[in-house]
């Protein structure tokens, strides 16, 4: 059960993360990111995918060590996971990029990336919690 839950949790992160990131950054809001002049013309997709695989494995491993896997606690655990790691991701990725990189509007970048991070963790947190949810 534990090995199975690990792989389901990793997939629960990776499967929605790649298409969400791709469509958000390279399709839906491409024009806004181009106006910000923050990304290179040709992003290096394998580096982004590698990052997502590492994150998926770490989140799948850490989840049962920090959050309840009890059947009835999955929603509370999902909210805790999303709040903790969503804020952590935001503080590790959005704010430092805004502080270090040249862009035409720091405020617009922070708004776009904050919305992405919130949506991302709103999607993956309950999926990871359900992957680790103990049987009734």
Report the domain count for the chain: 1
**Ramachandran class of 115: left when φ > 0, alpha when ψ lies in -120 to 50, beta otherwise:** alpha
- Residue written as tokens 């040249």? 102
pLDDT tens, position by position, for the chain (136 residues)? 578 999 999 999 999 999 999 999 999 999 999 999 998 889 899 999 999 999 999 999 999 999 999 999 999 999 999 999 999 999 999 999 999 999 999 999 999 999 999 999 999 999 999 999 999 7
Q: Can you say whether the dihedral through the CA atoms of 96, 99, 105, 107 is positive or negative?
A: positive
- Reported residue count of the chain is 136
| Owning domain of residue 15 | 2-132
Q: pTM of the prediction?
A: 0.93
């Amino acid at each position: 059960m534990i090995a199975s839950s690990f792989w389901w949790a990793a997939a629960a992160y990776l499967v929605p993360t790649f298409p969400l990131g791709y469509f958000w950054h390279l399709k839906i809001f491409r024009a806004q990111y181009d106006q910000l002049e923050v990304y290179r013309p040709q992003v290096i997709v394998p580096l982004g995918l590698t990052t997502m695989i590492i994150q998926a494995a770490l989140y799948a491993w850490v989840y049962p060590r920090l959050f309840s896997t009890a059947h009835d606690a999955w929603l509370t655990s999902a909210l805790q996971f999303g709040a903790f790691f969503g804020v952590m991701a935001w503080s590790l990725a959005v704010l430092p990029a805004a502080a270090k990189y040249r862009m035409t509007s720091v405020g617009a970048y922070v708004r776009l990336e904050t919305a992405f991070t919130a949506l991302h963790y709103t999607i993956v947190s309950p999926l990871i919690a359900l992957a680790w949810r103990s049987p009734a």
